Structure 1
């Protein structure tokens, strides 16, 4: 029924090509879009991920795939009537958009959480320090290093979580001391500290080492900070299709004309005006491996932000370090607009009681 992958055209839909891989029946092109949809990223695989990840993270999932299924229909391609695609009812356009936003939210909340990235960096450093001192057994009885384990499946199978346990218990092996100390830090939750998250331009992920070198080369460093004392990571978050709106590749149909496919541009007024205009972002995560270097690292980063060509334009005009940081929750305010006083911890009865007739002061005399 399906011979292989098809070429995706600029419009986002499958186009007829001379490629030898083609669908056996053109009217069944929609079968490509059920499990793994390369056209608009809407498939049951993604729905399963959203439901599973939301459940295990304890985050309510606002996207309801059961409802969307009730408003799903196979439509003919707008250009080629012999082709078919999976379409959705026009009133569910906002629900489809919510699906992509849920994916973005879960990635930012869990997959690219600062602690997650910091842990990955520490594991990578631990394995890099041990790469020359751990040998794996091949199928013929000889040994091979970790990087060369991909050449032998018997050795490759040994690269599981047990290798971290092996490093942790290698107390008598001085060659693995550095790796062991990094993993012991992880057990104590002494993780690399994320000190900055900065929006950057496209292509910055290919120059992470260069960025790290530029940061420590600032005049604020004075030789206290080395490039190896920092860890930088550029992450890319999007709605599934880079900088493009995924809804532009989705077909819709109306109640009055269920067999007439519509594009998103024809019903854009039915989607909330709060729909995003930008569908991707890149964030530069900067970590300091030793917390005692944090203040020096922050000063170096602030200098680098002002002159780096990789920093997003809106951030490059920032005048203070606070403008560079990601938005945070504002301090609570009262109904009068004044800041609320800090809450007082309640102890056992009588511990926090005020003397009789005393007045509680919310602000200092200078205020």
Structure 2
């Protein structure tokens, strides 16, 4: 993987760049639709390519390991061939999912033993094993196995968790560097900064990870219950240390305004389930604000979901029609809302890139953040 930093904004820390993988190029800043079990829920590949205009998608190691399983993925030739997506894929390590199963897992130096949420069967993830699993899945970018502590962790727990993550990271790097890809393209390994909401721990973790010299770096353990101002403070602390010539990936964040604020702090890559999860429940993100499409006020509103044309496919459907689909419990409703939200997120980061390159990002970002949180 290569990263070319093309422009840095003078008024903020926002950046525009380009990542090159064997499956294609990614213009940053970028948002990655989440394809937890190998598909972005309810969205077929053709819509991801043409309507959403996605450049990279995310898969989840925990879920893909359980279903369809490694034997199926290996025989298919990896996830790209299994799901038909021929552009870049990033897989998270499954750490967040394993540690969210607090009542079903045991944590040891070796790794984490957990019970499947599907059938209760027991499994163990180790730093080495998670590298092997992601080799089999075949993602272009794979993540280190880390512990993601809760947002309200006390200092002692957060420090112990960070130190364990660092020890696991060294083991994961040794396994990655000592093995080869299973398929005919290169893979890249990203470490993850941890430290909860404690600036000194975040600084220590960022320094440790920056010293490893990997091709990209991630920031984990945020947007897990801490106040937004703490999240932004931790991002600022970490990005002051992580190397500027490597892409920075903020994991699991977030709302459209979160993304713009994080771009201003120097983040390049994002993922979140919010566009599809909220879309399935009738919440639309637009440049004018947030719409609950089930509300009566949209019953006879025949204007497009996005009248400004940010999401071109929206011009085919009115708010009244989409509301009708939700009220009638027609499965097309959640699908169209998910496509809209993903398309809007990709428009948003693409427009942010244009504004960075034009030198107008700060003024545009300030205006957009005010609009994005309005409830229409």
Query: TM-score, length-normalised on structure 2?
Result: 0.26
Higher strand proportion: 2
Larger radius of gyration: 1
